[in-house]
Amino acid sequence: MIEEALQERAKLVDEAIPKFLPVTPPDEMYHAMRHLLNAGGKRLRPSAVLLAAEAVGGKPENVLPAAVAIELIHNFTLIHDDIMDEADLRRGMPTVHKKWGVPRAIIAGDALYSKAFEILSCTRSEPQRLVESLELVSKTCTDICEGQWMDMNFEKRKDVTEDEYMRMVEKKTAVLFATALKIGATLSCANREQSRALWNFGIKTGVGFQIYDDVIDLITPEEILGKAQGGDIIEGKRTLIVIHALSKGATIEALGKNNATRSEVSAALTALKESGSVEYAMNKAVGFVEEGKDALKELPDSEAKNLLRGLADYMIARKY
């Protein structure tokens, strides 16, 4: 049921994207901006905007521009992240900088960023609520940058604590999901308590999702993942799994080793499983999602509220 409900909302978002982001001159720039967007994806963040609106009694179609804006911001971060990570593939397709070169990928990302604000500012709502939403989204983008910067700092360190990791992942991932939910509510005339509940739901499930995502990224075979397995290991990313394993004294030879062989990556995966770190991270992810669902008790009962609970479970349900 949740999958069907999400597909319905993803369809709304898919149809809205070309409407709000038409290809205009210089055409090639807009093709570059739409490259990853066209590759599909589950549209969890924009669907969260729509569901949050519904959960506070609003109409999802009224916040559709805000939903598209959130998806554009997500895609902007992917384009710039891929440049920074020198990633060749995303969703089984060449990354934007791989196809258009780094300078144009930087611009395509920047343009998605501004388009997001442009589209968001056209959402029909009370001006004061619109200003609040624009302010929150911009603050969130700053947080994402801070999280990304922290993440890069971590790669050079051996002593990153779980607390530091949690702060990083909250900024890098969770705030955008929480913002999606909060602006969906705010733009739909939610009261403060409702907006806050949805924000808390977003932060907790967002952190849980990122931890889970790191696990899946680690254990999924290349042919399903659409990119090389163990990329986080090779890049030296301090995921919760790695932080836990290091604290348990595990040896991970391939960590941060650019030229690690397949068998070294494979040995690292085994070490991370044997130290119990994969299971530890999985359990943490589930715990956060449960806390997130708890936050929803502030909202009146509704189908949308049930769907949000379903969404939270869904975020940590996929096997790969």
Instruction: Give the separation between CA 13 and CA 47, rounded to whole angstroms.
Output: 8
Pattern of binders to a copy of itself over 158-197, x per CB under 8 A?
----------------------------------------
Q: Collapse the DSSP code of 90 into the 3-class scheme (helix H, G, I; strand E, B; otherwise coil) and give the result.
A: strand
Find the shortest distance in angstroms from Cβ 265 to a copy of itself: 23
Buried residues in 143-179 as b, exposed as e (16+ CB within 10 A): bbeebbebbeebeeeeebeeebbbebbbbbbbbbbbb
Q: Tell me the per-residue interface mask from 9 to 28 with a copy of itself, x by CB under 8 A, - otherwise.
A: ----------------xx-x
Instruction: Please confirm whether the linkage preceding 26 is cis (ω < 30° from 0).
Output: yes
Distance in Å, CB of 128 to a copy of itself, minimum: 5
**Residue 50, both tokens:** 């729509």
How big is the chain, counted in residues?
Answer: 320
Contacts of 123 (CB under 8 A, 6+ apart): 62, 63, 65, 66, 69, 130, 133, 187
Specify the residue, 149 or 193, whose C-beta has the smaller distance to a copy of itself.
Answer: 149
89: helix, strand or coil: strand
DSSP 94: E
What distance in Å separates the CA atoms of residue 269 and residue 147, rounded to the nearest whole number? 25
What single DSSP character describes residue 69? H
Residues 42-81 contacting a copy of itself, CB under 8 A: 80
Q: How far is the CB of 248 from a copy of itself (least distance, A)?
A: 27
- Least distance between a copy of itself and beta carbon 103 (Å): 4
| Count of residues of this chain found to bind a copy of itself when the rule CB under 8 A is applied | 45
Cβ partners under 8 Å of residue 44, min gap 6: 6, 177, 311, 315
Closest CA to 147 of 197, 80, 229, 61: 80
Q: Pick the binder of a copy of itself from 50, 66, 72, 83 (CB under 8 A).
A: 83
Quote the least distance from Cβ 257 to a copy of itself, whole Å. 19
For 60-126, where are the alpha helices, taking DSSP H only? 64-85, 96-100, 102-120
Of the pair 144, 289, the CB lying nearest a copy of itself is at 144
Is residue 141 a contact residue for a copy of itself (CB under 8 A)? yes
Nearer to a copy of itself, 18 or 103 (CB): 103
SS3 state of residue 257:
coil
Toward a copy of itself, which CB reaches closer, 111 or 215? 111
If the CB atoms of residues 178 and 315 are measured against a copy of itself, the closer one turns out to be 178
Closest by CA to 86, choosing from 152, 147, 180, 42, is 152
For position 150 contacting a copy of itself by CB under 8 A, the verdict is yes
Q: Give whichever of 135 and 193 is closer to a copy of itself, judged by the CB atom.
A: 135
Binding mask of the shown chain, residues 91 to 110, with x at each position contacting a copy of itself by CB under 8 A: -----------xxx-xxxxx
Residue choice 3, 39, 142, 222 for contact with a copy of itself (CB under 8 A): 142
Instruction: State the residues that interact with a copy of itself by CB under 8 A.
Output: 25-26, 28-29, 80, 83-84, 102-104, 106-111, 113-118, 121-122, 126-128, 130-131, 134-135, 137-142, 144-146, 148-150, 152-153
